[in-house]
């Protein structure tokens, strides 16, 4: 993936900078409900079940305060990314046992774009593995700052 392209996967109306939920399933529900309200998905319950099934295989909370709930389905029309932030942190069953503050919810069609989906996931994991970028992400509160961090301008 080219430098400066990561932010192009994010949309301002799909950034929630103050998640209210405090539990794993409720934060997933909050994010999925937002996707439904913004017209990105049509079957909220189906997407929730898909995400819960994915989480049952192992937490997508990778540690360092970040989780990547994700899934692929024919019910998704195009690659969609939702950024969520919780100031208090949520027990998401992360690999390091620590609360999760940052969520990158990634949904993609199962019939196309697998390379882009995997490249996006890989690129985002690369971002959080850089301590300076992760620290900046933990403080981000607006779309412009988020895209600058993701594109390496911050």
Question: Which domains are assigned to the chain?
Answer: 6-149 (3.40.930.10)
Of 17, 14, 5, 6, residue with least CA distance to 137: 17
Residues classed as catalytic: 70
**Is the separation of the CB atoms in 78 and 115 below 8 Å?**
no
Phi then psi for residue 16, to 5 deg, are -110, 105
Question: What local confidence, expressed as pLDDT, does residue 3 receive?
Answer: 44
Of 99, 88, 87, 84, residue with least CA distance to 143: 84
| Mean of per-residue pLDDT scores for the chain | 92
- Per-residue model confidence as pLDDT tens digits over 72-103: 888 788 999 999 999 999 999 999 999 999 99
Return d(Cα 45, Cα 36) in angstroms, integer: 10
**Mean pLDDT of residues grouped by 10 in the chain (154 residues)?**
75 97 97 95 93 95 96 87 96 96 94 85 93 95 95 75
What number of CA atoms fall less than 13 Å from residue 46's CA on the CB side?
10
């Amino acid at each position: 993936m080219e430098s400066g392209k990561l932010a192009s996967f994010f949309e301002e109306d799909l950034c929630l900078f103050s998640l209210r939920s405090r539990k794993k399933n409720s934060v997933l529900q909050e994010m999925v409900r937002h996707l439904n309200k913004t017209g990105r998905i049509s079957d909220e319950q189906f997407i929730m079940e898909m995400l819960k099934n994915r989480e049952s295989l192992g937490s997508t909370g990778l540690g360092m305060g970040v989780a990547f709930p994700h899934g692929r389905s024919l019910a998704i029309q195009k690659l969609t990314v939702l950024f969520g932030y919780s100031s208090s942190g949520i027990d998401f069953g992360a690999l390091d046992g620590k609360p999760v503050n940052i969520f990158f919810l990634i949904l993609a069609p199962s019939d196309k774009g697998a390379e882009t989906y995997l490249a996006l996931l890989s690129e985002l994991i690369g971002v959080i593995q850089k301590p300076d970028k992760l620290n900046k992400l933990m403080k981000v509160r607006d779309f412009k700052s988020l895209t600058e961090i993701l594109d390496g301008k911050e």
